[in-house]
Amino acid sequence: MSEKKDIPEDMFLAPENRKHTVTGPDGEVIHVDPLNDYFCQDLPKVEAPYKGVLEKFLNWARAESLWVLAYGTGCGSIELPPLFSPRFDAYRFGVMMRPTPRQSGVLIISGYLAVKTLKRAIRSYEQMQNPKYVIALGSCTINGGMYFDSYNTINRLDHYLPVDVYIAGCMPRPEAILAGFNKLKERIKSGNAEGANHYAENLEWYKANQKKIIKDWNMPTYNW
């Protein structure tokens, strides 16, 4: 805490994430640098896809087994639960909800994205592993929609995360979301859905955009 004034780049760090010293029970002094000690500071690398038939086969498997992160922002998240009801039954397309970003491959940004939520969406996206896809749901993610002049929502999602498929509407019905899943499948099978690699290549641009909006960054550059 004492070094609060010395380090200006710590401005946006929460007190527990700033460099500080801890005194142990026997009087020993331990220097703690939370961002380096508790978090991984590595940046993502471009993972080159295989070539030829093998990559085609793997892409087919990835397309037929879309594991969606059970995470909702804005009003669109209420359109997602009906997908798994008997009426729409997204399971038959190989779509499944996963509760943890580690196991999921698809992130659905389901509506307007408040600045506060953008930070969580970025963390969740970065915790997912390399072949990962983003579906942007509703017009709010395209141009801000009815929140275009709001003080605390972002307007264009693809300035912050690499979007694979947009589903327009306010709000899109579950049928439209199913059509979006099929569009995403086509894109994966054609080998064009390399959003994760695109994000790793243009990380500086994405990070600059993100940090312009998020004032209380308070986390490592890339959240593994």
Partner 1 sequence: MSLFERILFVLAGLFIVLNWGLIMTGIIRKIIARVGMRRGIKVYQPYINLVKNFSIRSQLSHGVMFYLGPVFRLSGGVGIFLFMPMIYGSEYWTNFSFTGDLILISYFMFFGMLGMALGAGEGGHPYSAIGVSRGLAQFTAIELPLTLAILSIAIQYHTISLTEIVAAQQGGIRNWTLVTNPLATAAAMLSFLGAMGHSPFNVVMAPQENPIGPPTEYHGTFLGVLQTNRAILHVVEAVLYMNLFFGGATNWGTLILKTFLIYFWSVFVGMVFPRFRVDQSIPWLLKIPLAIGILAIIIFMI
By beta-carbon proximity to partner 1, the closer residue of 88 and 112 is: 88
CA 94 to chain centre: 21
Q: How far apart are CA 42 and CA 67, in angstroms?
A: 26
Q: Which of residues 8-47 bind partner 1 (CB under 8 A)?
A: 44-45, 47
Q: Pairing relation of β-strands 95-98 and 106-110?
A: unpaired
Amino acid at 93: F
Contact map string, positions 168 to 197, toward partner 1, x by CB under 8 A = ----------------------------x-
Residue closer to partner 1 (CB basis): 47 or 186: 47
Residue 150 makes contact with partner 1 by CB under 8 A: no
Q: Do 18 and 3 meet the contact criterion of CB atoms below 8 Å apart?
A: yes
96 neighbors 67 (Cβ within 8 angstroms): yes
Residue 198 near partner 1 by CB under 8 A:
no
Q: Which amino acid is at 120?
A: R
Q: Please state the closest distance from residue 73 (CB atom) to partner 1, in A.
A: 16
Gap between the Cα atoms of 201 and 131, Å rounded: 14
**Residues near partner 1, by CB under 8 A:** 44-45, 47, 49, 57-58, 61-62, 64-65, 70, 86, 89, 91-92, 94, 97-100, 102-103, 105, 129-131, 196, 224
